[in-house]
Structures are given as C-alpha cells and as structure tokens.
Structure 1
Amino acid sequence: MPVELSAARAALEGVPNEPGAPKPDPIVKGSNIVRTFGGLKAVDVDHIEIQRGVITALIGPNGAGKTTLFNLLTGFDEPDEGDWSFNGKALGRVPAFKVARLGMVRTFQLTKVLAKLRVIDNMLLGATGQRGEKFWSAPFKSLWSAQEDEITKRADALLERFKLDAKREDFAGSLSGGQRKLLEMARALMVDPELIMLDEPMAGVNPALKQSLLGHVKSLRDEGRTVLFVEHDMDMVRDISDWVIVMAQGQIVAEGTPQSVMANQSVIDAYLGAHHDTDITEIDVEELEELAEAALDEEATS
C-alpha cells in the first residue's frame, strides 16, 4: 500500500463520527447547500467535507437527496443557496464542463454513453484540450495529429484495462448495462481526474461484472485518486469504502467508518423508520379496524 494511501486512510481515524465532521485534508468542502423543488427541500446540507485519497460512500434511502447533491457539486444543477469548493476553488455558478476540466468528474445512474458512436469514439470525446477541436487549427492536421495519436493510445490502454478492448469498434449502444458503466468509468479517466464521483455504479449490473467493477473502484484509490460514490448495496459499501456519509430527507444525519455507521441508530431510523421497533402489542386494534372500515366506505362512495 502506498505511503500516501496509508496516510490518507489513517488520518480518518481521528475524525469524529458525526455529521459534517471536518477532515484533515478535504478535497471538497460545502456549507449551507440548499435546493428546493416547489415545496420540497431536496437538499439541506449544513456542512460536508470529502477526504482526499480515500473512498467515501454516500448512502441513504430513496429520495434522500444523494443524486441532487451530486448534481449541485458538479455543476449540473444550481442550489438556492450555499457555497462549495474543490481544491480550495469556489465552484458556485461554474458550469459542469469547467468543473470536469478542474479534475472533478462524475458518472450517472442512467449511463450517458453516445449509443450511435463507436466505443473508441466515446473514449476520444472524453479527452480535454484537444487542439484539433479548435477552429483555427482544425484544418491543419500536422498541428494536432501527434496529440491525437497520444490520446488514442491512452484510450486504448484504458479500454484494455476495463476489458473493453474487444468492443473497441462496436457501437456503444450495443453494450450491456454493465459494460456501459465500465465505458463511462473509463471515459471519465480520460480527463485524468483527481476526484471521480460514481452514481450507483452497481445498479443493474450482473454479479460477475459487479466484482470487476469493485476491483476497478479500488484501483482508482490505489492510484491516489479520491472516489465518492452513491450506492444502495450495503455489502459493497462495507467492502470498499473508507468513510460513509448518510443522507435522509436532504440532510446529513450520520457519517463515520462503515462499521460505526451501520450500527448508528440514526441510520437505522433513516432506512427503517423511526418507529420500526414499536411493539405491535401496543397498537390499538379497534382503532385500526375503524380506520380500515372508513377507508373501505370512502372507496365505495368514490
């Protein structure tokens, strides 16, 4: 294990297991981030910090605001209020493509591959700073052909790493759901990001491919990158995450190591409801019967 990786994970040992806990070396910091849709407050985060060089899981029940928070941090949506930064640079009103160029990239729960382009073309589009895309240099191939060759070599190396090299010339639309997720992850690495954010990377993936994806996520951390991912698979969360942040009803209700979070009463309440342990012998059966009869009468008259 590299010294940097050991230090990044060891530094978390002194971090208190409480919502919004400050980290020794945060790559992302955010405060008072609020996003409402009509009367619904989808995100209401007082403070969040993501430790550099480790894998952080963002978990919570459906509708907790996880993907909305992803969208806000990466510039795909704008909050009603709040501020956040990446590597100390404020990202308020910074568009998504500029956020990506800074080294903060993300994948999507529903994959965004360009189905009618070849796999290799999808990869090449992920590279930034291509001279051949500029208006004045585009007609002169001698100005950008060497760079394009380098980008193509990097794309081919990533396709081989993610076991997609055999699909190089296929249309991206022909890939399976799991292969599309691999392509998205590989394409994200064309930017050479410091932070990669994965939105439910295991959703809809068969068990065999899931193990491959797990290995790739771990390899990102081993390279010194920071990973933040949204996931519902608790086995995956326990297996690969160094730190876990829990959201419920738009707020951060708990965070800490996987072991501490899984035993946290706030987390149990968030997933099962605050009254999941109510003794059923205390329920007023007559009241339930009256409610049921009233519901049936209402249905009959409607």
Structure 2
Amino acid sequence: MPADTTPGAAAATASLAGIQNVPGVPKPDPILVGSSISRSFGGLKAVDVEHLEVQRGVITALIGPNGAGKTTLFNLLTGFDVPDSGQWQLNGKPLHKVPAYKVARRGMVRTFQLTKVLSKLTVMENMRLGATGQRGEKFWSAPFRSLWKTQEDEITTRAEDLLTRFKLDAKSEDFAGSLSGGQRKLLEMARALMVDPELIMLDEPMAGVNPALKQSLLGHVKSLRDEGRTVLFVEHDMDMVRDISDWVVVMAQGTIVAEGTPQQVMADQAVIDAYLGTHHDTDISEADETEVEAAADAELDQEADRG
C-alpha cells in the first residue's frame, strides 16, 4: 500500500486486506459492479470486460498500455458511449442505457483527458453550471428570481469554497479559456465536486500538467478519499500510481489481465507482458545474436553503398 498515514488511507488498507490479486475479484463493499461489458469498433473489440468491482472508499487506478480500452470503458460506464453488451450498477442500481447527465445525478461523475471547460464562461460560471437540481433552470420558475435566489446564493457559496480549496479563487472572474492546462484540470475536478458525488472518475488527471501543479493535484486526489469518496482514475505515470493508489486494475487488449495492490501488480508477469511484450525476457542464444548482428552489419553496408 502507499506510504500514507491519513485516516482515509488506513481505512482503505483495512478494507482491502485479504483480497486476492486476481482479475475480477469480488470486493467486500463494492460501489460499482460491472459484468460482460463489451464494445467493438468494426472488427476491433476495444472492451471485453468479464467482471469488474470497484471497492468503496479507496483510490483505484486503471492502467494499461495505449489502446488497452481504458478510456472506452470509462465512456461506457459514465453513459458517454453505448456498449454492445453488458450490465453495471452503482450502489446496486443499474446504469445500463442511463444517459450521462443522469449518471452524474446518481453520484458518479468524471473528468476528461482533454479538459471540457467552457472557455467563454468565467471560472465561477463553470462552477455554477456543475450544480444539479437548480430551480432557476426550469421554464416555469426562471422568470421569478425570488423562487431560486436563495438556492443560487447557496450554490455560489459552495463554488467559492471549492475554488478556495483548489487555489482558483483568485481566478473566479477570469474566463476559463485563460487558464493553464493544469488549472483547467483543477477546475474540472472542483466542478465535479459541485454534484457532491460518491464516485469520481478521473481520466489521466496528470496529462499535460507541469510539475508544480502535479503535487497539488496528487494532494487533492488523496483528499477525496479522506472525505470518504471513491476514486477511479486512468493513468500512465507509474510513480503516481504507486504513490496514491490503494488498488490497481490492469487492462490489455480490452480485457482485465490483473488486479492487486501497486506492489503486487508491478511484480505480476501478466502486467510485465502487457507493457513489454510476452517475449521480452526470452534469452537469446549466441547463434541468434550472431545472426542479428550480421543482418544489422549487412544493412549498414547497403546504406553506405547507396550513399
């Protein structure tokens, strides 16, 4: 487990104690459960997940080489794409064929690898839009400000608190399009919390973020767990995975090939094969080595003749 002594980390460690590190392993208290989820594009099967459970209250990393199907799985689970088959539930309630906005209302929100801020609105306006159930958005009540002013004030106060927490309060009246890439990531994470979600799904939260903001983002992800929320994130940075994740799920060619603690999966042969190829550790004979060297020398000679 990560070297973290926060109460959230301790609770996560306890909740995962004794779980086998095998693909699709049942969890003691899963918040998200999916089975037989598949999605094909033409002749390519991008996702073929037999079973997946995400433990409540922990940080789970979803890793794998490029093209493994991680983002496609995110899109399916959050209603941004439709599967060919499969079922999944949040807190025991089915989400299959539920549109993305209703998935968010049920407590599962996501961010994107390429940020989706509304660049021509201010940071504060982006935050207000993240809140759900706003009476001022309804046709019959919109003309009567007295019906929704109190709620809007409460939403604004919550947005101000979150912007302060994410150190964006000084930017609240700036256009979101003027923010740096890292600040946009922070804004997306803060806006996601306007829904007060139980499960937050982060798609490569560190992509394109400068080192100065990376540590800040890491701290914010850990704080989500310490508040009792569940985090599922896609990431390629293995140092980050080791640092903050309590559990790791590994995908390769659309399927889940391994699960376990960061230490377990980093030593798992299926993970090594997925990242480096199944024959990366095969010994080469002296004769084979001589043949490879001779072929390379011949190619160099041909290049020299052509030159």
Does the TM-score normalized on the shorter chain lie above 0.5?
Answer: yes
For residue 222 of structure 1, the aligned residue among 226, 243, 255 is 226
Structure 1 position 278, deviation (Å): 2.3
Of 281-290 and 259-268, the range deviating more from structure 2 = 281-290
**Alpha-carbon distance between aligned partners in 1 of 2:295 and 2:42, rounded to the nearest angstrom:** 36
Task: Give 2:280's aligned residue.
Answer: 276
**Alpha-carbon distance between aligned partners in 2 of 1:14 and 1:216, rounded to the nearest angstrom:** 28
**Alpha-carbon distance between aligned partners in 2 of 1:5 and 1:90, rounded to the nearest angstrom:** 29
Q: How many residues align?
A: 295
Q: What is the correspondence of 1:229-248 to structure 2 with a 5 Å cutoff? A: 229-248=233-252
Structure 1 position 5, deviation (Å): 6.2
**Alpha-carbon distance between aligned partners in 2 of 1:5 and 1:265, rounded to the nearest angstrom:** 27
Structure 1 position 277, deviation (Å): 1.1
Q: What is the correspondence of 1:185-264 to structure 2 with a 5 Å cutoff? A: 185-264=189-268
In structure 2, do the counterparts of structure 1 residues 285 and 44 end up closer, same or farther at CA, with 3 Å as the change threshold?
farther
Task: Give 2:270's aligned residue.
Answer: 266
Residue ranges of structure 1 left out of the alignment (5+ in a row): none
Structure 1 position 284, deviation (Å): 6.9
Residue 83 of structure 2 is aligned to residue 79 of structure 1? yes
User: Amino acid of the residue matched to residue 266 of structure 1?
Assistant: A
For residue 63 of structure 1, the aligned residue among 37, 42, 67 is 67
**Alpha-carbon distance between aligned partners in 2 of 1:120 and 1:281, rounded to the nearest angstrom:** 64
**Alpha-carbon distance between aligned partners in 1 of 2:9 and 2:282, rounded to the nearest angstrom:** 44
**Alpha-carbon distance between aligned partners in 2 of 1:286 and 1:48, rounded to the nearest angstrom:** 46
TM-score normalized by the length of structure 2: 0.92
Deviations 1:183-226 (A, max 9, x none): 00000000000000000000110111000000000000000000
Task: Give 1:98's aligned residue.
Answer: 102
**Alpha-carbon distance between aligned partners in 2 of 1:190 and 1:281, rounded to the nearest angstrom:** 60
Residue 22 of structure 2 is aligned to residue 18 of structure 1? yes
**Alpha-carbon distance between aligned partners in 2 of 1:254 and 1:117, rounded to the nearest angstrom:** 42
Structure 1 position 49, deviation (Å): 0.1
In structure 2, do the counterparts of structure 1 residues 5 and 208 end up closer, same or farther at CA, with 3 Å as the change threshold?
closer
Structure 1 position 286, deviation (Å): 4.8
For residue 184 of structure 1, the aligned residue among 185, 188, 194 is 188
Of 278-287 and 33-42, the range deviating more from structure 2 = 278-287
**Alpha-carbon distance between aligned partners in 1 of 2:223 and 2:289, rounded to the nearest angstrom:** 55
Aligned-residue identity in percent: 80
Kindly indicate whether the alpha-carbon contact (under 8 Å) linking 1:19 and 1:252 is maintained by their aligned counterparts in 2. yes
Q: What is the correspondence of 1:18-167 to structure 2 with a 5 Å cutoff? A: 18-167=22-171
**Alpha-carbon distance between aligned partners in 1 of 2:74 and 2:48, rounded to the nearest angstrom:** 13
Task: Give 2:177's aligned residue.
Answer: 173
Deviations 1:251-299 (A, max 9, x none): 0000000111111111011000001112243637658849x97xx9xxx
User: Amino acid of the residue matched to residue 173 of structure 1?
Assistant: G
**Alpha-carbon distance between aligned partners in 2 of 1:285 and 1:39, rounded to the nearest angstrom:** 40
Kindly indicate whether the alpha-carbon contact (under 8 Å) linking 1:5 and 1:53 is maintained by their aligned counterparts in 2. no
**Alpha-carbon distance between aligned partners in 1 of 2:155 and 2:284, rounded to the nearest angstrom:** 63
Kindly indicate whether the alpha-carbon contact (under 8 Å) linking 1:20 and 1:46 is maintained by their aligned counterparts in 2. yes
User: Amino acid of the residue matched to residue 259 of structure 1?
Assistant: Q
Residue ranges of structure 2 left out of the alignment (5+ in a row): none
Structure 1 position 13, deviation (Å): 1.1
**Alpha-carbon distance between aligned partners in 2 of 1:3 and 1:164, rounded to the nearest angstrom:** 26
Runs of 4+ in 1 over 4 A off after TM superposition: 1-5, 284-288
Structure 1 position 14, deviation (Å): 1.3
Kindly indicate whether the alpha-carbon contact (under 8 Å) linking 1:35 and 1:44 is maintained by their aligned counterparts in 2. yes
User: Amino acid of the residue matched to residue 241 of structure 1?
Assistant: S
User: Amino acid of the residue matched to residue 39 of structure 1?
Assistant: G
**Secondary structure of the residue that 2:17 maps to in structure 1?**
helix
Kindly indicate whether the alpha-carbon contact (under 8 Å) linking 1:30 and 1:48 is maintained by their aligned counterparts in 2. yes
Deviations 1:110-144 (A, max 9, x none): 00000111000000000000000000000000000
**Alpha-carbon distance between aligned partners in 2 of 1:108 and 1:226, rounded to the nearest angstrom:** 17
